[in-house]
């Protein structure tokens, strides 16, 4: 059994220290340790499933925040249809019910040779296997005038929490007749339908509270998935309210004037009362800074085990990976996390492991009681995650079908977050 040094224990505070010391004193012999960095959807799921699957494995989860607010359903919050509190989840069940040691700190370094992770306070923790699910970082140099400081004025709201609250306040205080502009980056982005869902749900809010307001979408793409479903819904629910301008029309967004509330494209300049700029993405900082990402900015993995192809005994899941056909979504992160947990448990305990079955289902709201779903099965093929079967709702379906999908989406949220965090609260 590896002993904790005074320096390591000194780096842990309060509840984290109590949890680690009592956990260590309770056990008699060494167990392999899996460290998971990032307590979002991917990381929390890996931690929970390794703890459930390999009962002889010690699991440590490192996440700076004490509560996690989901991006999924945050567009419903922006439209005033859900509270932010209802989207926030704690780590108590992972620690209490699953015996996971949760340390609320940021990981700042990885030493693959020594198999150790460094925390912000100087603590160094050793692992048998390390899993990273750090999510995304933003390319703040992609559009002139839009850096991190600008995002505190013109929010991206592409991470949920204070950014979502800022955008909601701006939408609430916007005058009727104003324009709300959304700037959409090139792919790959987390949750590809979410910008268009945001446009739809904000339009639903305007329809009720500011009927003369408009939504303007400036897209870096020329087409988008399920465009027919969105365009039909925009025509049906919000005629004349939503304008979508593809890159071939504008020539692309070139710069943002934060003070003047203006967006300059290759052709025209657009003024808007509220501007939501979603910057282009790359893998989360820790993954890139520790050499786990390639030149694309994403982390290549073995699709059967989610082990990094760049570093042995380090696995990655979620938005940070180069995920082939799989979209960057919470559902994907959760499905990848389970496959990764089973692969780690098999490697460390000799438990049997079959080929992974991976799924993604995106529920997308077109209106408060109209949602569609898009379900796809994936398999590892060669070195990629390949899509096999697809189901998606169709245009011109009856309202009862879409209302049912909207109900299923709300049920999915409850069941899904319980699966990730081990409890429904
Ligand atoms: P995250 O959930 O972002 O978690 C990353 C975690 O890592 C964070 O908690 C962070 O604090 C932590 N972290 C980062 N760096 C460190 C470090 N150095 N040390 C310790 N911890 C660290 N998906 C769906 O499936 N369905 C939807 O309907 C849906 N809707 C969406 C709507 C919107 C508006 C958006 C923006 C996204 C939506 N998504 C949806 C996508 C979904 O939220 C993400 O794909 C999912 O959260 C990815 O999980 P992850 O674990 O990769 O990253």
Atom of ligand 1 nearest to the CA of 159: 36
Atom of ligand 1 nearest to the CA of 330: 25
pLDDT tier for residue 324 given thresholds of 50, 70 and 90: very high
Contact between residue 100 and residue 422 where contact means Cβ atoms under 8 Å apart: no
Maximum pairwise Cα distance, the chain: 69
- Condensed to tens digits (0 to 9), the pLDDT of residues 268-301 reads 999 999 999 999 999 999 999 999 999 999 999 9
196 Rama sector, left if φ>0, alpha if ψ -120 to 50, beta otherwise: alpha
Q: Is the pLDDT of residue 161 over 90?
A: yes
Contact between residue 312 and residue 302 where contact means Cβ atoms under 8 Å apart: no
Atom of ligand 1 nearest to the CA of 70: 43
Is 135 touching ligand 1 by the criterion CB < 6 Å? Answer: yes
Is 58 touching ligand 1 by the criterion CB < 6 Å? Answer: no
Q: Is the pLDDT of residue 425 over 80?
A: no
Instruction: Measure 328 CA to ligand 1 centroid, in angstroms.
Output: 9
Instruction: Measure 333 CA to ligand 1 centroid, in angstroms.
Output: 8
> Which pair of tokens denotes residue 371?
């949602």
Contact between residue 294 and residue 310 where contact means Cβ atoms under 8 Å apart: yes
Protein residue with its CA nearest to atom 3 in ligand 1: 135
> Which pair of tokens denotes residue 105?
């700190």
Question: Locate tokens 């459930």: which residue?
Answer: 52
CA distance 195 to 204: 14
User: Is the peptide bond between 188 and the residue preceding it cis, with omega within 30 degrees of 0?
Assistant: yes
Mean pLDDT across 129-141: 97
Work out the angle at residue 286's Cα, subtended by the Cα atoms of residues 56 and 279, and round it to the nearest 5 degrees.
130
- Condensed to tens digits (0 to 9), the pLDDT of residues 136-151 reads 999 999 999 999 999 9
- Condensed to tens digits (0 to 9), the pLDDT of residues 168-215 reads 999 999 999 999 999 999 999 999 999 999 999 999 999 999 999 999
- Quote the pLDDT of residue 54: 72
The per-residue pLDDT of the chain, averaged, comes to 92
> Which pair of tokens denotes residue 302?
């073995």
Is 356 touching ligand 1 by the criterion CB < 6 Å? Answer: no
Is 263 touching ligand 1 by the criterion CB < 6 Å? Answer: no
Per-range mean pLDDT, top range of 4-18, 96-110, 351-365, 411-425: 96-110
Is 47 touching ligand 1 by the criterion CB < 6 Å? Answer: no
- Condensed to tens digits (0 to 9), the pLDDT of residues 9-61 reads 333 433 343 333 333 333 445 899 999 999 999 999 999 999 998 778 999 99
Is 374 touching ligand 1 by the criterion CB < 6 Å? Answer: no
């Amino acid at each position: 059994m590896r002993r904790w040094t005074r320096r390591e224990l000194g780096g842990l505070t309060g509840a984290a220290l109590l949890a680690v010391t009592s956990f260590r004193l309770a056990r008699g012999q060494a167990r392999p340790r899996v460290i998971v960095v990032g307590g979002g959807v991917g990381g929390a799921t890996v931690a929970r499933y390794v703890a459930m699957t390999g009962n002889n494995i010690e699991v440590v989860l490192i996440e700076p925040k004490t509560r996690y607010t989901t991006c999924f359903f945050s567009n419903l919050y922006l439209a005033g249809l859900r509270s932010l509190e209802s989207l926030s989840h704690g780590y108590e069940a992972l620690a209490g019910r699953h015996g996971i040691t949760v340390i609320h700190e940021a990981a700042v370094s990885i030493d693959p040779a020594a198999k150790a992770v460094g925390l912000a306070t100087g603590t160094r923790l050793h692992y048998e296997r390390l899993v990273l699910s750090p999510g995304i970082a933003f390319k703040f140099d992609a559009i002139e005038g839009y850096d991190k400081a600008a995002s505190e004025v013109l929010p991206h709201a592409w991470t949920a929490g204070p950014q979502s609250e800022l955008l909601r306040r701006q939408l609430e205080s916007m005058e009727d007749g104003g324009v709300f502009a959304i700037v959409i980056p090139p792919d790959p982005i987390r949750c590809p339908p979410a910008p268009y869902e945001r446009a739809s749900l904000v339009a639903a809010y305007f329809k009720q509270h500011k009927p003369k307001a408009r939504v303007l979408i400036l897209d870096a793409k020329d087409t988008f998935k399920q465009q027919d479903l969105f365009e039909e819904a925009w025509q049906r629910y919000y005629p004349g309210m939503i304008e979508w301008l593809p890159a071939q029309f504008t020539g692309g967004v070139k710069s943002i004037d934060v003070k003047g509330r203006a967006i300059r494209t290759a052709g025209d300049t657009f003024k808007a009362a509220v501007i939501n700029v979603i910057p282009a993405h790359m893998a989360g900082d820790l993954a890139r800074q520790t050499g786990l990402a390639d030149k694309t900015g994403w982390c290549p993995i073995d699709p059967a085990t989610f082990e990094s192809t760049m570093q042995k005994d380090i696995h990655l899941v979620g938005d940070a990976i180069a995920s082939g056909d799989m979209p960057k979504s919470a559902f994907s992160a959760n499905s990848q996390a389970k496959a990764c947990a089973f692969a780690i448990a098999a490697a460390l305990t000799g438990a049997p492991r079959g080929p992974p079955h991976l799924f993604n289902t995106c529920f997308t709201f077109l209106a408060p009681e109209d949602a569609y779903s898009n379900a796809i099965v994936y398999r590892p093929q060669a070195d990629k995650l390949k899509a096999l079967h697809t189901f998606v709702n169709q245009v011109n379906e009856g309202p009862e079908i879409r209302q049912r999908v909207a109900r299923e989406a709300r049920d999915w949220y409850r069941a899904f977050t319980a699966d990730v965090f081990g409890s429904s609260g």
